[in-house]
Structure 1
Amino acid sequence: MSPSPESAVSGLAAARAGDTAALGRLLESYRSYLLLLARIQIGRRLQSKADPADVVQDTFLDAHRQFPAFRGETADALAAWLRRVLAGQLAHLVRRYFGTEARDVRLEQSIEQELDSSSQSIARGLSHPGTSPSESAARREDLARLGDALERLTPDYRDVILLRQLEGLPFAEVARRMGRTEDAVQKLWVRGLVALRRALDGSP
């Protein structure tokens, strides 16, 4: 679960005071959120030929190193900063995968914009128009819950939901990506949505 705005602020204060355990707990609370974004980006750019969990772990290591330079004071500011750190890790992965080790700031900026767009799109799908600040906080928690629930699904269910629901790909492209027939993918998608609803409800 992502932290509430109040707990994020207190966690930031403790981390800035030198409490490394508080910083670790604060970063850990964003794991599912970052995993969700990493899965979408890796699926788009690398056809899922990388482990999102490894990328997020590297993001946390980099965030620990860079934390003294972070000046934000809110949960939203921290989420935005972590997306930027994640973008740097993803850009490095893309360069390595395609054999171009030279740093490309434009690539990092492009990935960061895509991460921001993915985060906003998912959040909009979890909310209603005209949300209040308290509803926005609940929406952030819902996004983290979605990430947690997706992590509990089987890989096939998770992949079909990411490709169809979160990337908005047509069934034909989802079938191509997953190496299945279009009919099989449609049936898998329906079962996956049922499993996701159960996971979100906490059902076994």
Structure 2
Amino acid sequence: MEPSSPSQLPALLLDRALAGSKSSLGRLMGLYSEYLKYVASSRMDDRLRRRVSASDVVQESFYEAHRDFSRFRGDSPEQFVGWMRRILVNNLMRVVERNLVAAKRDVRREVSLDRLRRGVEQSSWRFSALLASDEETPSTDLRRQETQTAMAAVLAKLPEDYRRVIRLRNIEGLSFADVAEQMDRTSGAARMLWLRALEQLRAEYAGTDEE
């Protein structure tokens, strides 16, 4: 029996997964797929994106989570997402090491596991704050987790340049000057694109609340 409220679904699926349901575990992971893709992408520079997609890193993380789910010691969706982020960090580290080593670069000078872990957490917080007001402080409560999941699904449907400007500005935390350089635009054009992207994101997200 499905829950009466979508907000209850993650907890229900987790309970079923802990009871041994593989299909519920798969559905639970699917809820966070787009969110994890955006977080992974925010920690991959253009060199890595040309070699490996964020989707590949997330799929590898899902495989490992399925395989090692018996090691999960939490009992809430929030703890599950935190566990998934830790798996994602380890896979991102392996991707960085493989590709930088292949390019004959010194990995230790460019990245460390702790630095990558902090970067993923920062990206996650920025993602949480995308639709928040300036007065709000990102937290890991259930409501914010629901927002992350729904917002990631909306973001995935936006035009590519909208997705990119939001990722660069809000999730990676770049200045408008750096966003403009990355997107080969003027700073003013980058700002206008960002404003239009946020406007559409908020409109589309508000539409999901009405459904």
Query: TM range, normalised to the smaller chain?
Result: 0.7 to 0.9
Tell me how far apart the structure 2 counterparts of residues 152 and 38 of structure 1 sit (CA, whole Å).
Answer: 18
Please say if residues 78 and 142 of structure 2, whose CA atoms lie closer than 8 Å, have aligned partners that are also in contact: no
Task: Normalising by structure 1, report the TM-score.
Answer: 0.81
Please say if residues 47 and 177 of structure 1, whose CA atoms lie closer than 8 Å, have aligned partners that are also in contact: no
Please say if residues 39 and 171 of structure 2, whose CA atoms lie closer than 8 Å, have aligned partners that are also in contact: no
Partner of 2:34: 32
Of residues 159, 163, 170, the one that matches 1:154 is 159
Task: Tell which deviates more after alignment, 14-23 or 181-190.
Answer: 181-190
Tell me how far apart the structure 2 counterparts of residues 184 and 57 of structure 1 sit (CA, whole Å).
Answer: 35
Q: Secondary structure at the match of 1:90?
A: helix
Partner of 2:148: 143
Tell me how far apart the structure 2 counterparts of residues 131 and 166 of structure 1 sit (CA, whole Å).
Answer: 13
Partner of 2:19: 17
Cα distance, 1:148–1:68 mapped onto 2, change above 3 Å: same
Tell me how far apart the structure 1 counterparts of residues 169 and 48 of structure 2 sit (CA, whole Å).
Answer: 14
Q: Secondary structure at the match of 2:185?
A: coil
Of residues 178, 188, 200, the one that matches 2:205 is 200
Tell me how far apart the structure 1 counterparts of residues 137 and 114 of structure 2 sit (CA, whole Å).
Answer: 29
Tell me how far apart the structure 2 counterparts of residues 156 and 47 of structure 1 sit (CA, whole Å).
Answer: 19
Question: Which 5+ residue runs of structure 2 have no aligned equivalent?
Answer: 1-5
Please say if residues 88 and 108 of structure 1, whose CA atoms lie closer than 8 Å, have aligned partners that are also in contact: yes
Equivalent pairs, count: 196
The within-5 A match list for 1:1-204 is 4=7, 6-43=8-45, 46=47, 48-49=49-50, 50-99=52-101, 107-124=112-129, 126=132, 129=136, 136-202=141-207
Tell me how far apart the structure 2 counterparts of residues 199 and 97 of structure 1 sit (CA, whole Å).
Answer: 37
Task: Normalising by structure 2, report the TM-score.
Answer: 0.79
Shift of 1:87: 0.5
Tell me how far apart the structure 1 counterparts of residues 188 and 30 of structure 2 sit (CA, whole Å).
Answer: 38
Please say if residues 152 and 199 of structure 1, whose CA atoms lie closer than 8 Å, have aligned partners that are also in contact: no
Tell me how far apart the structure 2 counterparts of residues 163 and 35 of structure 1 sit (CA, whole Å).
Answer: 14
Highest RCO, 1 vs 2 (Cα 8 Å, sep ≥ 6): 1
For the aligned residue pairs, the C-alpha RMSD in angstroms reads 3.0
Tell me how far apart the structure 2 counterparts of residues 131 and 98 of structure 1 sit (CA, whole Å).
Answer: 33
